[in-house]
Amino acid sequence: MDWRAVNFDWNRARAFLVTAEEGSLSAAARALGMAQPTLGRQVSALEQELGVALFERVGRGLTLTPSGLDLMDHVRGMGEAAARMSLAASGKAQAIEGTVSISASEVDAAFRLPAIIGKLRQMAPGIDVEIVATNSESDLRRREADIAIRNYRPTQPNLVARKIRDIDGRIYATLGYLESIGNPQTPQALSGADFIGFNRSGEFIAAMTRFGLTLTAKNFPILSESHLVQWSHVRQGLGIGIMTSDIGDAEPAVVQVLPDVDPIVIPVWLVTHREVHTSRRVRLVFDLVASELGRHERPEQTAYRDRLVEDGGGAQ
């Protein structure tokens, strides 16, 4: 390779890539943890080095020029190669110290992880933990997290996944709210009740049919994408909402609605990237989280617990 032909700074290429993906200099600066003026200078310098305009301003955001679009595939490939290099380097780290990031839903992050992290801090005080509390999927291949707790079977290649357990999803409300609507005892009696959900999509309403409920968009006067916000409103007596039974049954402010109806079964998977999994600190955290999350599994679930899936075509 003729290295003399590479006439631009690779750090500036990263600045260009992140700005393009984030849509603005301010968002890109936050993603990279650097000052916006510094990032802007890097992008401008890259444009001068290449002799092309990469962005044009639209309102408060930026949009790629035709030249910028032409270069994106090449720069994105560089970013993916850098991520793979970082993964490989992390996998060779053998010290039981450093940072491990865990991606988890808001419910897992708020209710299940604190006790586990407390044990981890006693076991390995040299490990710092970053908790990425999100209800969206973190991309482990791009190092958005080292470990992820997920409620579905992973399908991406190059992941190590362990089926931990199944948990029951049930619906809850306060006694006061149930009294206000006549203490309904059947799914049909709840046809006019208020529910608190993620959205009014057919998918969520269809999920409620598993409890025998026939609902419409009118049954959802309060919506939030935040699981914690939903649960807080349920606890305040504003309607009926869904929660896993281990958390819902432990909350004294609420009771199960339709307790004799079969629950929704929610799988719990623990996932990491295959290369990161060879890191001693990541492996230690992975195994501890798996052990603690699986403590209350049903007997019939134990066969799944130690089943690792290292797969070039997805988890089984």
- pLDDT at site 182: 94
Query: Which CB contacts under 8 angstroms, 24+ apart, belong to 214-223?
Result: 214/187, 214/188, 215/191, 219/191, 219/192, 219/193, 219/194, 219/195, 220/194, 220/195, 220/196, 221/194, 222/194, 222/196, 223/196, 223/197, 223/198, 223/199
Predicted confidence band of residue 59 (pLDDT cuts 50, 70, 90): confident
Number of neighbours of residue 238 by Cβ within 10 angstroms: 17
DSSP string, 116-159: HHHHHHHH-TTEEEEEEE-SS---GGGTS-SEEEESS---STTE
Q: In the CATH scheme, what is the code of domain 95-316?
A: 3.40.190.290
- pTM exceeding the 0.85 threshold for the entire prediction: no
The mean per-residue pLDDT over the stretch 297-307 comes to: 37
Q: For residue 39, give Cα distances in angstroms to 13, 66, 192.
A: 11, 21, 54
Predicted confidence band of residue 95 (pLDDT cuts 50, 70, 90): low
Minimum mean pLDDT range among 83-87, 103-107, 196-200, 248-252: 83-87
- Of the candidate CATH numbers 1.10.10.10, 3.40.50.2300, 1.10.600.10, 3.40.50.150, the domain formed by 3-91 belongs to 1.10.10.10
Average pLDDT, the chain: 83
For 215-248, write each residue's pLDDT tens digit.
888 999 999 989 999 999 999 999 999 999 999 9
Parse the chain into domains and list their residue ranges.
3-91, 95-316
